[in-house]
Structure 1
Amino acid sequence: MGGVAAIGEPGRLACLALAGAVVLPARDPEGVRAAWRSLPEDIEVVILTAWAAEVLGPVEDRLTVVMPVGER
Protein backbone atom coordinates (compact mmCIF):
# COMPACT_ATOMS: atom_id res chain seq x y z
CA MET A 1 0.00 0.00 0.00
CA GLY A 2 1.35 3.40 -0.97
CA GLY A 3 1.58 6.50 1.11
CA VAL A 4 -0.31 9.74 1.38
CA ALA A 5 1.12 13.22 0.83
CA ALA A 6 -0.33 16.70 1.21
CA ILE A 7 0.58 19.87 -0.69
CA GLY A 8 -0.53 23.41 0.07
CA GLU A 9 -0.35 26.27 2.52
CA PRO A 10 1.64 25.33 5.63
CA GLY A 11 -1.07 26.32 8.09
CA ARG A 12 -3.64 24.06 6.44
CA LEU A 13 -1.42 20.95 6.50
CA ALA A 14 -0.32 20.68 10.14
CA CYS A 15 -3.04 18.21 11.14
CA LEU A 16 -2.19 15.94 8.22
CA ALA A 17 1.39 15.56 9.44
CA LEU A 18 0.01 14.27 12.74
CA ALA A 19 -1.94 11.66 10.77
CA GLY A 20 1.23 10.42 9.06
CA ALA A 21 1.00 12.12 5.67
CA VAL A 22 4.13 13.37 3.96
CA VAL A 23 3.59 17.13 4.16
CA LEU A 24 5.00 19.34 1.40
CA PRO A 25 4.19 22.95 2.29
CA ALA A 26 4.21 25.58 -0.45
CA ARG A 27 4.06 29.35 -0.14
CA ASP A 28 3.83 30.26 -3.83
CA PRO A 29 2.79 28.65 -7.13
CA GLU A 30 6.32 27.52 -7.98
CA GLY A 31 6.52 25.86 -4.57
CA VAL A 32 3.35 23.90 -5.36
CA ARG A 33 4.73 22.73 -8.70
CA ALA A 34 8.09 21.84 -7.13
CA ALA A 35 6.35 19.86 -4.38
CA TRP A 36 4.36 17.91 -6.99
CA ARG A 37 7.52 17.10 -8.95
CA SER A 38 9.30 15.96 -5.78
CA LEU A 39 6.66 13.45 -4.66
CA PRO A 40 8.23 10.11 -3.76
CA GLU A 41 7.25 7.26 -6.07
CA ASP A 42 5.50 5.33 -3.29
CA ILE A 43 2.93 8.10 -2.77
CA GLU A 44 -0.43 7.00 -4.20
CA VAL A 45 -2.80 9.65 -2.80
CA VAL A 46 -2.15 13.39 -2.71
CA ILE A 47 -4.28 15.74 -0.63
CA LEU A 48 -4.27 19.25 -2.07
CA THR A 49 -5.54 22.46 -0.54
CA ALA A 50 -8.00 24.25 -2.83
CA TRP A 51 -5.30 26.81 -3.67
CA ALA A 52 -2.72 24.13 -4.56
CA ALA A 53 -5.28 22.33 -6.73
CA GLU A 54 -6.00 25.56 -8.58
CA VAL A 55 -2.28 26.13 -9.16
CA LEU A 56 -1.70 22.59 -10.47
CA GLY A 57 -4.79 22.34 -12.62
CA PRO A 58 -5.82 18.88 -13.84
CA VAL A 59 -3.38 16.11 -12.94
CA GLU A 60 -3.58 12.44 -13.84
CA ASP A 61 -0.46 10.87 -12.36
CA ARG A 62 -1.95 10.11 -8.95
CA LEU A 63 -5.21 10.01 -7.09
CA THR A 64 -5.85 13.49 -5.69
CA VAL A 65 -8.29 14.83 -3.14
CA VAL A 66 -8.99 18.55 -2.73
CA MET A 67 -9.58 19.88 0.77
CA PRO A 68 -12.66 22.06 1.14
CA VAL A 69 -12.05 25.78 1.40
CA GLY A 70 -12.05 26.80 5.04
CA GLU A 71 -11.30 29.86 7.06
CA ARG A 72 -7.85 31.27 6.56
Structure 2
Amino acid sequence: MGTVAAVGEHMRVRGFVLAGVDVFPAEHAEEVREAWRSLPDQVSLVIVTSAAAEALGPELEDARFLTVVMPR
Protein backbone atom coordinates (compact mmCIF):
# COMPACT_ATOMS: atom_id res chain seq x y z
CA MET A 1 0.00 0.00 0.00
CA GLY A 2 1.37 3.40 -0.98
CA THR A 3 1.55 6.67 0.86
CA VAL A 4 0.07 10.09 0.13
CA ALA A 5 2.15 13.23 -0.45
CA ALA A 6 1.29 16.91 -0.87
CA VAL A 7 3.39 19.40 -2.82
CA GLY A 8 2.90 23.15 -2.90
CA GLU A 9 2.89 26.34 -0.92
CA HIS A 10 3.48 25.77 2.79
CA MET A 11 0.31 27.59 3.87
CA ARG A 12 -1.83 25.41 1.57
CA VAL A 13 -0.34 21.98 2.34
CA ARG A 14 0.74 22.11 5.98
CA GLY A 15 -2.61 20.93 7.37
CA PHE A 16 -2.33 17.63 5.51
CA VAL A 17 0.28 16.55 8.08
CA LEU A 18 -2.59 16.06 10.53
CA ALA A 19 -3.99 13.36 8.23
CA GLY A 20 -0.65 11.55 7.93
CA VAL A 21 0.25 12.97 4.52
CA ASP A 22 3.93 13.51 3.70
CA VAL A 23 4.19 17.25 3.00
CA PHE A 24 6.74 18.75 0.61
CA PRO A 25 6.46 22.54 0.92
CA ALA A 26 7.61 24.40 -2.16
CA GLU A 27 7.10 28.12 -2.72
CA HIS A 28 8.80 28.64 -6.09
CA ALA A 29 8.67 26.76 -9.39
CA GLU A 30 12.16 25.27 -9.05
CA GLU A 31 11.39 24.09 -5.51
CA VAL A 32 8.21 22.44 -6.80
CA ARG A 33 10.08 20.58 -9.53
CA GLU A 34 12.77 19.51 -7.05
CA ALA A 35 10.16 18.26 -4.56
CA TRP A 36 8.30 16.40 -7.34
CA ARG A 37 11.43 14.63 -8.52
CA SER A 38 12.39 13.66 -4.96
CA LEU A 39 9.09 11.98 -4.08
CA PRO A 40 9.74 8.50 -2.69
CA ASP A 41 8.81 5.42 -4.72
CA GLN A 42 6.23 4.32 -2.14
CA VAL A 43 4.03 7.37 -2.90
CA SER A 44 0.79 6.39 -4.67
CA LEU A 45 -1.17 9.66 -4.54
CA VAL A 46 0.10 13.23 -4.76
CA ILE A 47 -1.98 16.28 -3.90
CA VAL A 48 -0.60 19.39 -5.57
CA THR A 49 -1.69 23.00 -5.28
CA SER A 50 -2.78 24.75 -8.46
CA ALA A 51 0.40 26.86 -8.43
CA ALA A 52 2.51 23.71 -8.12
CA ALA A 53 0.59 22.12 -11.00
CA GLU A 54 1.36 25.15 -13.16
CA ALA A 55 5.05 24.94 -12.24
CA LEU A 56 5.15 21.26 -13.17
CA GLY A 57 3.44 21.73 -16.53
CA PRO A 58 3.74 18.64 -18.75
CA GLU A 59 5.72 16.83 -16.07
CA LEU A 60 2.46 16.51 -14.14
CA GLU A 61 0.84 14.56 -16.97
CA ASP A 62 3.72 12.10 -17.12
CA ALA A 63 3.29 11.25 -13.44
CA ARG A 64 4.17 7.86 -12.04
CA PHE A 65 1.46 8.25 -9.41
CA LEU A 66 -2.17 9.31 -9.19
CA THR A 67 -2.31 13.10 -8.91
CA VAL A 68 -5.00 15.48 -7.67
CA VAL A 69 -4.83 19.26 -8.16
CA MET A 70 -6.33 21.39 -5.39
CA PRO A 71 -8.68 24.13 -6.57
CA ARG A 72 -7.52 27.71 -6.18
Tell me the TM-score normalized by structure 2.
0.90
Q: Say whether residues 1:36 and 2:36 are aligned partners.
A: yes
Equivalent position amino acid for 1:64 in 2: T
Choose the corresponding residue for 2:64, options 49, 61, 64: 61
Task: Name the structure where helix makes up a greater proportion of residues.
Answer: 2
State how many pairs are aligned: 69
Q: State the Cα distance separating 1:14 from its structure 2 match.
A: 1.5
Structure 1 stretches lacking a partner, 5+ long: none
Percent identical pairs in the alignment equals 54
Aligned counterpart, 2:26: 26
Cα-Cα RMSD: 0.8
Structure 2 stretches lacking a partner, 5+ long: none
Equivalent position amino acid for 1:66 in 2: V
Tell me the TM-score normalized by structure 1.
0.90
